[in-house]
Amino acid sequence: MTGMQLVSENPMNSYQLRKELERIRKRDNELNFRANRTEDYLNQIAGLKDADKLFDKLVKLNIPRLKEQHIHKIIDITPTTLNDLKVVLQGYTITLNSESMKKIVDAVNEFLEKK
């Protein structure tokens, strides 16, 4: 196998992945086995339709140290309480103050209520 080179790496949430699989299906007319399995799984778990709006809302909060990968994980899990958010962010080396965490949880809850 020839040497492959990674051109770029961007984090994405499950909703963006589902859109990307739809784009590939249109382009290739079908998906391979793994992509089909992934699409089936994403259709079962993905409940948000406008995840892009939630992403924009979380970015506009301008919370220091909160990176794009953290926002994608928050969108995937959609924590509705401070304890849920703490559990989601435990896997990362990030510390947020309680005010910032409250803003995130409020934004997620507001978005879920609009849904």
- The token pair that represents 54 in the structure block: 């939630």
Residue 24 lies in a domain: yes
- 41 lies in the same domain as 57: no
Per the structure, how many domains does the chain have?
Answer: 2
- Asked if residues 80 and 27 have their Cβ atoms less than 8 Å apart, the reply is no
- Do 47 and 14 touch, CB atoms closer than 8 A? no
Same domain, 27 and 62: no
**Is 55 found in the same domain as 40?**
no
Whole-number Å distance between alpha carbons of 16 and 57: 16
Residues 56 and 82 in one domain: yes
Q: Are residues 20 and 67 in the same domain?
A: no
Question: Looking at the structure, do residues 58 and 30 belong to the same domain, yes or no?
Answer: no
Residue 70 lies in a domain: yes
Tell me, what's the pLDDT at 47? 65
Residues 35 and 58 in one domain: no
94 in a structural domain: yes
Predicted TM-score of the model (pTM): 0.76
Per-residue pLDDT of the chain (115 residues; tens, 9 = 90+): 578 888 888 888 888 888 899 999 999 998 899 999 988 888 877 666 778 888 999 999 999 899 999 999 998 888 999 999 999 999 888 889 999 999 999 999 998 877 6
Question: By residue range, what is the domain housing residue 28?
Answer: 14-45
Is residue 8 a part of any domain in this protein?
A: no
Residues 97, 111: Cα–Cα separation, whole Å: 22
d(CA 63, CA 7): 29
